Amino acid sequence: MYSSILRERSSSFTLTSWIRIFSRNMGGGPRTFPGGLNKWQWKRMHEKKAREKENKLLDQEKQLYESRIRSEIRSKMLGNTHNSSEKTTQSHGPVSSQEHIKSLADRFMKAGAEDLWNEDDGPVKKSNHGSGSIDSTIEVRRFVSMGNDKNRIFDRSSRGYSSMSRGGRFKRNESSCDEGDEFDGRKFDTLSPFATNFAGKKEKVKSARNVNGVMRNKGLFSGKKFRKNDSSTEEDSEDDGKLNGWMDLRRTGSSASLGNHDVKLTKRVNRHVTDDELYPPLDINVVREDLSKRRLMENVVEENVESRDSIYSRKRFDESCISPLTLKALSASGIVQMTRVQDATLSECLDGKDALVKAKTGTGKSMAFLLPAIETVLKATNSSNSRVLPVFVLILCPTRELASQIAAEGKALLKYHDGIGVQTLIGGTRFKLDQQRLQSEPCQILIATPGRLLDHIENKSGLTSRLMALKLFIVDEADLLLDLGFRRDVEKIIDSLPRQRQSLLFSATIPKEVRRVSQLVLKRDHSYIDTIGLGCVETHDKVKQSCIVAPHESHFHLVPHLLKDHISTTADYKIIVFCSTGMVTSLMYTLLRQMKLNVREMHARKPQLHRTRVSDEFKESKRLILVTSDVSARGMNYPDVTLVIQVGIPSDREQYIHRLGRTGREGKSGEGLLLIAPWERYFLDELKDLPLEPIPVPDLDSRVKLEVDQSMAKIDTSIKEAAYHAWLGYYNSVRETGRDKTTLAELANRFCFSIGLEKPPPLFRRTAVKMGLKGIVGIPIRK
Ligand X SMILES: Nc1ncnc2c1ncn2[C@@H]1O[C@H](COP(=O)(O)OP(=O)(O)OP(=O)(O)O)[C@@H](O)[C@H]1O
Among 171, 172, 665, 725, binds ligand X (CB under 6 A): 665
Which residues make Cβ contacts (< 8 Å) with residue 333, sequence separation at least 6?
Answer: 412
Among 160, 362, 372, 398, binds ligand X (CB under 6 A): 362
DSSP string covering 175-189: HHHHT--EETTEE--
Binding residue count for ligand X, defined by CB under 6 A:
19
The least CB distance from residue 99 to ligand X, in Å, is 37
Q: Which is nearer to ligand X, 57 or 474 (CB)?
A: 474
Reading phi first (left if > 0) and then psi (alpha if -120 to 50, else beta), residue 624 is in: beta
State yes or no: residue 632 binds ligand X (CB under 6 A).
no
Among 93, 193, 364, 664, binds ligand X (CB under 6 A): 364
State yes or no: residue 672 binds ligand X (CB under 6 A).
no
Q: Are 457 and 493 in contact (CB under 8 A)?
A: yes
Closest CA to 638 of 656, 657, 661: 661
State yes or no: residue 367 binds ligand X (CB under 6 A).
yes
Q: Are 216 and 205 in contact (CB under 8 A)?
A: no
Q: Which stretch binds ligand X (CB under 6 A): 66-74, 169-177, 357-365, 596-604?
A: 357-365
Q: Which is nearer to ligand X, 341 or 425 (CB)?
A: 341
State yes or no: residue 361 binds ligand X (CB under 6 A).
yes
The least CB distance from residue 505 to ligand X, in Å, is 13
The least CB distance from residue 516 to ligand X, in Å, is 21
3-class secondary-structure state, position 59: helix
Which residues make Cβ contacts (< 8 Å) with residue 448, sequence separation at least 6?
Answer: 394, 395, 396, 397, 403, 424, 425, 426
Contact characters 132-171, ligand X, x per CB under 6 A: ----------------------------------------
The least CB distance from residue 175 to ligand X, in Å, is 41
For ligand X, the nearest residue by Cβ is 364
Helix (H) or strand (E) holding 644: strand 643-647
State yes or no: residue 666 binds ligand X (CB under 6 A).
yes
Contact characters 503-532, ligand X, x per CB under 6 A: -----x------------------------
Closest CA to 475 of 485, 465, 486, 484: 486
CA–CA separation, 32 vs 21, rounded Å?
15
What residues between 182 and 201 interact with ligand X by CB under 6 A? none
3-class secondary-structure state, position 314: strand
State yes or no: residue 318 binds ligand X (CB under 6 A).
no
Q: Are 672 and 663 in contact (CB under 8 A)?
A: yes
Q: What is the DSSP letter of 520?
A: G
CA–CA separation, 651 vs 731, rounded Å?
9
Among 158, 222, 255, 366, binds ligand X (CB under 6 A): 366
Closest CA to 191 of 167, 172, 209, 212: 172
**Nearest-5° angle of CA 149, CA 151, CA 152?**
70
Q: What is the spatial order of strands in the sheet that 393-396 belongs to?
A: 422-425, 445-448, 393-396, 472-476, 502-507, 355-358, 527-530
Q: Which is nearer to ligand X, 70 or 365 (CB)?
A: 365
Q: Which is nearer to ligand X, 238 or 666 (CB)?
A: 666
Q: Which is nearer to ligand X, 338 or 453 (CB)?
A: 338
759 burial via Cβ count (<10 Å: 0-12, 13-18, 19+)? exposed
State yes or no: residue 729 binds ligand X (CB under 6 A).
no
Q: Which stretch binds ligand X (CB under 6 A): 52-60, 363-371, 480-488, 692-700?
A: 363-371
Q: Which stretch binds ligand X (CB under 6 A): 356-364, 373-381, 388-396, 496-504?
A: 356-364
CA–CA separation, 378 vs 374, rounded Å?
6
The least CB distance from residue 574 to ligand X, in Å, is 14
The least CB distance from residue 537 to ligand X, in Å, is 15
The least CB distance from residue 422 to ligand X, in Å, is 15
CA–CA separation, 592 vs 563, rounded Å?
10
Q: Which stretch binds ligand X (CB under 6 A): 257-265, 437-445, 645-653, 659-667?
A: 659-667
Q: Which stretch binds ligand X (CB under 6 A): 154-162, 163-171, 593-601, 661-669?
A: 661-669
The least CB distance from residue 455 to ligand X, in Å, is 25
State yes or no: residue 470 binds ligand X (CB under 6 A).
no
State yes or no: residue 615 binds ligand X (CB under 6 A).
no
Q: Which is nearer to ligand X, 96 or 404 (CB)?
A: 404
Strand-pair category, 527-530 with 445-448? unpaired
Q: How crowded is residue 18: how many other Cβ atoms within 10 Å of its Cβ? A: 16
Q: Which is nearer to ligand X, 219 or 635 (CB)?
A: 635
Contact characters 409-448, ligand X, x per CB under 6 A: ----------------------------------------
Q: Which is nearer to ligand X, 361 or 590 (CB)?
A: 361
Buried b / exposed e along 107-123 (16+ C-beta atoms within 10 A): ebbeeeebebbbbbbee
Give contact residues for ligand X (rule: CB under 6 A): 335, 337-339, 342, 359, 361-367, 508, 635, 637, 661, 665-666
